[in-house]
Amino acid sequence: MGCEMKSMRRVLRYAAVSVIAALFLAGPLHAAKDDVPTPGEYGVYVKTASKLIRILPNIVFQEGSLLYIESNNPPHFLLKDIKYFILYGKHEVQYLTFNNLMFINQSPLGKPRFMFGKEVEAEVKKKSDTLYTVRPKGLFGRGYYALWINDSAWDFIVD
């Protein structure tokens, strides 16, 4: 009987160690679930490792067949800091485009004007009726970019 008790204890120890190891290994997988923070106000945000940073919208102008924006002190982000973008509010995301911006000329007041360049492929995921995430597909590099919906463009610079 003593031998059976020792082998039973050994089996229980192995089972307990296995369960604890499985919990430790499954913990990071569960924590890796994409929990998207909900901002306090409607708008467009950049999710960084430490916080959400709001991007202010810019007006899209049209001159003939050319669509452009005038640079208005856009925020700067380091490439390594950007995780993804958050759209919070009622937006028609089927019309959302993610574009790089290219300099075309200056306005009569001396402000630089930028036109929308080639669209960057982006993955838009609906998290709720008013919350979406936008992640660029493929390589995302440094430059001047805008998320564009209807007549507003949220422009920013990636350093």
102-118 tens-digit pLDDT = 999 999 999 999 999 99
Confidence (pLDDT) at 16: 56
Residue (of 77, 82, 102, 91) closest to 132 by Cα position: 91
Distance in angstroms (rounded) separating the CA atoms of residues 107 and 137:
33
Q: What is the per-residue pLDDT for 2?
A: 60
Instruction: Name the maximum alpha-carbon separation found in the chain.
Output: 97
The 8-class DSSP code of residue 32 comes to T
Distance CA 91, CA 9 (A): 61
Per-residue model confidence (pLDDT) at position 84:
95
The structural domains of the chain, with segments of one domain joined by +, span: 1-33, 43-158
What pLDDT, on the 0 to 100 scale, is given for residue 58?
A: 95
The pLDDT, as a whole number, for residue 140 is: 84
Structure tokens that stand for 85 in this block: 């973008």
Residue 105 to residue 108: CA distance in whole angstroms: 10
pLDDT of residue 46: 96
CA atoms within 13 A on the CB side of 115: 11
| CATH of 43-158 given 2.60.40, 3.30.1460, 3.40.50, 3.30.1360 | 2.60.40
Amino acid 78 reads: L
Predicted confidence at residue 125, as pLDDT, reads: 95
Residues of the chain with pLDDT under 70: 1-6, 8, 11-12, 14-34
Long-range contact pairs involving 63-67 (C-beta distance under 8 Å, separation at least 24): 66/104, 66/115, 67/115, 67/116
One-letter amino acid identity for 10? R
Query: How far apart are alpha carbons 46 and 52 in whole angstroms?
Result: 6
